[in-house]
Amino acid sequence: MKILPDRYSSGPLLLVVSAAAGLAITLYHYMAPLTGVTETIGAGLVVFSTGIMLVAALIHPILPSGVMRKTVMFLILVDAVCTMAAGYFLHEWLLMVAMAIALIGAVISAFTGSATGGGKSASSQKTQGATA
């Protein structure tokens, strides 16, 4: 029995974990005193962008193949690159590492079968089960 569906393979799982880590890192830097960016507008925007990335990373694997799925993946890639740049400007080095890992997960998701639903459609899987 599988715990995770096929669409949550290594790429999407890496993306979700790194987006969650990025959110935790940015929340810490935003809320903790004496971090240098406590309660600043820039840090608040980075908290928002990493939260959006986490939500997008969670819904991406369950989207049907097509334009919407590719658009969400493109936006995740843009979000990761821009958040990495924001981490550089805010001197949040751990956030930059988390976003680099998120980029690796996004690239794995985009260029493997997990981005297209495993390569087989649901109708072909049903047909194969009926003929076997």
Cα(3)–Cα(5) distance, integer angstroms: 7
Measured between alpha carbons, how far is 71 from 69 in angstroms, rounded to an integer? 5
Tokens found for residue 70 = 């590719």
How far, in Å, CA of 94 to CA of 91, rounded?
A: 9
pLDDT at 124: 46
At 48, which amino acid appears? Answer: F
0.85 exceeded by pTM: no
Residue 118 has pLDDT above 90, yes or no: no
Which pLDDT belongs to residue 20? 97
In this structure, the number of other CB atoms found within 10 A of the CB of residue 110 comes to 17
- Residue found under tokens 């969400």: 72
Q: What is the mean pLDDT of residues 61-77?
A: 91
